[in-house]
């Protein structure tokens, strides 16, 4: 069973853009260009007005010039980012102040545009920012729908949290969901790596295809290769039947390799070949299978340490680590404790048939 969007979930709803620049001609040029694409555009002449507009209205993207009177774009960015951390903000800057814009990106700005700019480039950057915003919303929507549908195979499928650390995870999921890049999820056990893998899959254009999970640490080394690549009849003593592997079962979809550091060096070589050449053979077979599967891997180990100890291949690490998402431990997202406690209580109260249970305020204080 795969999740489909509800009819009332509209990814193409009207998009609103805020443009702030002290030059009237530039504001008009940007407004005209973005209107032609189909976006609604509000323009203001300084950072103070931009801050007021952002506080009072919903926007999907904001474009701020760094140098403006009263309140400059950089100050406006920091203020807006505090109140609306999920709003993609694009900064406009002259070449000489591009270092300032880059520094702002490290603190959450989506991108920056150098003046004088090409309008086509601006449209592309705005389009990407909007797509990221839409995918971020869809991640939250889909994970909620998984939970609402009570799909046992995907439970727990809801990413719970509103802390800044988790918001950053949402943003990355939104950015990478529709790419073909492999993703490496790191973090302590229990931080939600499996849920993030599912969120990436169901927010992507592969959502109608299978999501297949393999725990590399729970399958004996001798059987893991067969589990992943399949085997032919007679390939080994107990191979009484031909068996397709997880790569075949996940065709067109996503293969989530959990505890990837547990994989043997020999199997790492074979996985590397799949990532490089998009093909493999079953154990004991000669037929080459071509594959279109997105790989998401996860580990709670320090792979750099594993590489230095020669237990994990450096070339495989670089193939897997195209996009890296580090899941924060609970001690770094304390503001989510009450939300998590409420989520688990509701989940287990349904399982035991005792709806309506809740934590007393003093208990939540102890938890926090």
Residues of the chain with pLDDT > 90: what percent? Answer: 42
Same domain, 321 and 340: no
Q: Compare 67 and 261 and report the one with higher pLDDT.
A: 261
Residues 116 and 222 in one domain: no
pLDDT of residue 138: 56
Per-residue model confidence as pLDDT tens digits over 164-193: 888 888 888 888 888 889 999 999 998 989
- Return the residue matching tokens 């005792």: 354
Number of separate domains in the chain = 3
Task: Give the residue from 77, 109, 133 where a domain finishes.
Answer: 133
Q: Is the dihedral of CA 150, 151, 152, 157 positive or negative?
A: negative
**260 and 118, same structural domain?**
no
259 within a domain of the structure (yes/no): yes
Residue 240 lies in a domain: yes
Within 13 Å and on the Cβ side, how many CA atoms surround 356? 1
**Domain limits for position 260:** 177-327
Residue range 60-66: mean pLDDT, rounded:
92
Q: Domain with 240 in it: what CATH number? A: 3.40.50.300
**What confidence score (pLDDT) does residue 144 get?**
52
Residues 83 and 200 in one domain: no
Order of strands across the sheet that contains 111-115: 40-44, 16-20, 61-65, 89-94, 111-115
Does 319 share its domain with 210? yes
User: Tens digit of pLDDT for each residue in 213-233?
Assistant: 999 988 887 789 999 998 888
For residue 366, tell me if it sits in a domain. yes
Q: Are residues 197 and 321 in the same domain?
A: yes
Average confidence score pLDDT of the chain: 83
In a domain, 169, yes or no: no
Which residues are CB-contacts of 254 (< 8 A; sequence separation ≥ 6)? 197, 200, 201, 204, 206, 209, 210, 211, 212, 293, 294, 295, 296
SS3 113: strand
The reply to whether 223 and 274 lie within a common domain is: yes
The answer on 192 and 245 residing in a single domain is yes
For 224-250, what is the mean pLDDT? 87
Which range, of 25-39, 140-154, 218-232, 314-328, averages the lowest pLDDT?
Answer: 140-154
- Whether 343 and 318 map to the same domain: the answer is no
- Cβ atoms within 10 A of the Cβ of 296, count? 28
Q: What is the pLDDT of residue 154?
A: 36
Q: What is the CATH number of the domain that holds 39?
A: 3.40.50.2300
Q: Given this model, what pLDDT does residue 107 score?
A: 73
150 is a domain residue: no
* Cβ atoms of 101 and 66 closer than 8 Å: yes
User: Would the pLDDT of 159 be above 80?
Assistant: no
Give pTM, 2 decimals. 0.60
Say if 167 falls within a structural domain.
no
- Tell how strand 288-290 and strand 279-281 pair up: antiparallel
| Higher pLDDT, residue 360 or 11 | 360
- 309 and 216 inside one domain: yes
**Do residue 309 and residue 360 come from a single domain?**
no
User: Is residue 113 domain-resident?
Assistant: yes
Same-domain pairing of 115 and 204: no
How far is it, in rounded angstroms, from Cα 62 to Cα 150? 37
Is residue 65's pLDDT more than 50? Answer: yes
Asked, for residue 60, whether it belongs to a domain, the answer is yes
């Amino acid at each position: 069973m795969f999740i489909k969007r509800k009819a009332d979930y509209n990814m193409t709803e009207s998009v609103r853009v805020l443009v702030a620049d002290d030059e009237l001609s530039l504001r008009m040029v940007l407004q005209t260009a973005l209107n032609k694409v189909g976006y609604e555009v509000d323009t203001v002449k300084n950072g103070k007005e931009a801050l007021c507009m952002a506080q009072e209205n919903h926007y999907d993207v904001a474009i701020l010039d760094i140098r403006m009177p009263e309140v400059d774009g950089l100050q406006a960015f920091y203020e807006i980012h505090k109140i609306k951390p999920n709003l993609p903000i694009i900064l406009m800057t002259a070449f000489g102040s591009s270092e300032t814009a880059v520094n702002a990106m490290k603190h959450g700005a989506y991108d920056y545009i150098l003046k004088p700019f090409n309008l086509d480039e601006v449209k592309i950057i705005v389009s990407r920012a909007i797509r990221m915003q839409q995918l971020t919303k869809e991640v939250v929507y889909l994970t909620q729908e998984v939970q609402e549908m009570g799909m046992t195979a995907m439970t727990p499928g809801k990413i719970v949290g509103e802390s800044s650390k988790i918001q950053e995870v949402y943003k990355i999921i939104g950015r990478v969901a529709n790419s073909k890049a492999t993703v490496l999820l790191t973090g302590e056990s229990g931080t939600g790596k499996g849920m993030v893998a599912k969120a990436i899959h169901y927010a992507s254009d592969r959502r109608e295809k299978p999501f297949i999970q393999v725990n590399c640490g729970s399958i004996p080394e001798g059987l893991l290769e067969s589990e992943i690549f399949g085997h032919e009849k007679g390939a080994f003593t107990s191979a009484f039947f031909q068996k397709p592997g997880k790569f075949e079962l996940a065709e067109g979809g996503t293969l989530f390799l959990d505890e990837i550091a547990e994989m043997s060096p020999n199997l790492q070589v074979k996985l590397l070949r799949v990532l490089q050449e998009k093909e493999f053979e079953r154990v004991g077979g000669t037929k080459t299978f071509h594959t279109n599967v997105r790989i998401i891997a996860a580990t709670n180990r320090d792979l750099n340490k594993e590489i230095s100890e020669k237990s994990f291949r450096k070339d495989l690490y670089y193939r897997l680590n195209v996009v890296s998402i580090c899941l924060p431990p609970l001690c770094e997202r304390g503001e989510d404790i009450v939300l998590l406690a409420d989520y688990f209580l509701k989940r287990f109260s349904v399982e035991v048939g005792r709806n309506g249970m809740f934590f007393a305020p003093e208990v939540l204080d102890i938890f926090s």
